[in-house]
Structure 1
Amino acid sequence: MLALDTSAFRDAMSRLGAAVNIVTTGTRTDPVGFTASAVCSVTDTPPTLLVCLKRDSRARPAFVEGGPLCVNVLSSAQQALSNHFASPNSMEERFTIGHWTTLATGAPVLEEAVATFDCCISQIVEVGTHSVMFGIVEALRINQNVGGLVYFNRAYHHLPHAPE
């Protein structure tokens, strides 16, 4: 079997559009968070999702300790927040933007998020350079009046609000 070129794989994966999210853990007084597009549904019974996090991320130890995991789906107006959480800012600095509260698990929840999935981590599987964290959803919140933010081909794209 031929080895697949890493850069070709990354180029192909950049064409797989994904929602932009801020993933959090900890508490409002000791928050940890990062920007992620590697988030997807696993099953609806029980409601479970997964999040991929680089093993060398400075946020990883807080998640590996177990406990909450909260996925905050960003709106089309929150591109700057995505960049802010992807920057080398301290964890404390990251949470100075936005309005933060909590739901069931106590993890930081972004009030302005398109959707919020407040989870308890059920397991973490190590795969190559990443940790795949599985979260069972304990609570959720939906904001139906905003458009979404996606990342495709290494650029942000804004989705309009789609009335129901």
Structure 2
Amino acid sequence: MVEASDYRNAMSLLTTAVNIITTASETGQHGFTASAVCSVTDSPATLLVCMNQSSRSHQYFIENKVLSVNVLSSQHESLSNAFASSQLSAEQRFGLAQWGKLKTGCPVLKDALVSFDCEIEQIQQVGTHSIFICRVVAIQQSSQEESLVYFNRSYHQVNAKEEV
């Protein structure tokens, strides 16, 4: 059996996009920073998001059955940290940026690299996390050209115009 610490150390070497996942209802706006997001299929447009069940906003995502995936650009490092912090309230977090809405009413970061507005179609519990299988119902893209990624426990920027 693989030790949890060995697994976490190995996974830190998997470069991932940094995202802020949001939801909203009459209970207010809620969100968290996530790297565990990926495409499932393009027909129908579907992605998945993994969320720790111990997160203080977990129940809101379960109840609301909608979410928005906001893919961060290089300028959003401090916003990513704010949404990962347990020290800030939801109001304080959302007050740090400009937000809009698409079809579901979830907060969409106005200058995100891209935002996927989604309806949660399935929820699977695996260990400590919930996996949300989400149908994409709207997309908003910006003109940002640098992505914020996480690799080896630190942030990095990827520029779309850099040559290899």
TM-score by length of structure 2 reads 0.94
The residue number in structure 2 matching 1:74 is 72
1:44 is aligned, of 42, 47, 57, to: 42
Instruction: Please state how far the C-alpha of 1:59 moved relative to its aligned partner.
Output: 1.1
CA distance in 1, matches of 2:25, 2:161: 33
Is it true that 1:32 corresponds to 2:46 in the alignment? no
For the 8 Å contact 1:28–1:102, the answer to whether it is kept is: no
Q: Deviating runs (4+, > 3 A) in structure 1?
A: none
The residue number in structure 2 matching 1:142 is 141
The residue number in structure 2 matching 1:16 is 14
Unpaired runs of at least 5, structure 1: none
Instruction: Please state how far the C-alpha of 1:60 moved relative to its aligned partner.
Output: 0.3
The residue number in structure 2 matching 1:91 is 90
CA RMSD of aligned residues (A): 1.5
Counterpart of 2:54 in structure 1: which amino acid? Answer: D
Aligned with 1:159: secondary structure? strand
Is it true that 1:162 corresponds to 2:161 in the alignment? yes
Counterpart of 1:140 in structure 2: which amino acid? Answer: I
Identity of aligned residues (%): 50
Counterpart of 1:52 in structure 2: which amino acid? Answer: C
CA distance in 2, matches of 1:138, 1:154: 32
Counterpart of 1:25 in structure 2: which amino acid? Answer: T
TM-score by length of structure 1 reads 0.94
For the 8 Å contact 1:28–1:106, the answer to whether it is kept is: no
Instruction: Please state how far the C-alpha of 1:29 moved relative to its aligned partner.
Output: 8.1
Unpaired runs of at least 5, structure 2: none
Counterpart of 2:70 in structure 1: which amino acid? Answer: N
For the 8 Å contact 2:102–2:117, the answer to whether it is kept is: yes
For the 8 Å contact 2:25–2:64, the answer to whether it is kept is: no
For the 8 Å contact 2:111–2:144, the answer to whether it is kept is: no
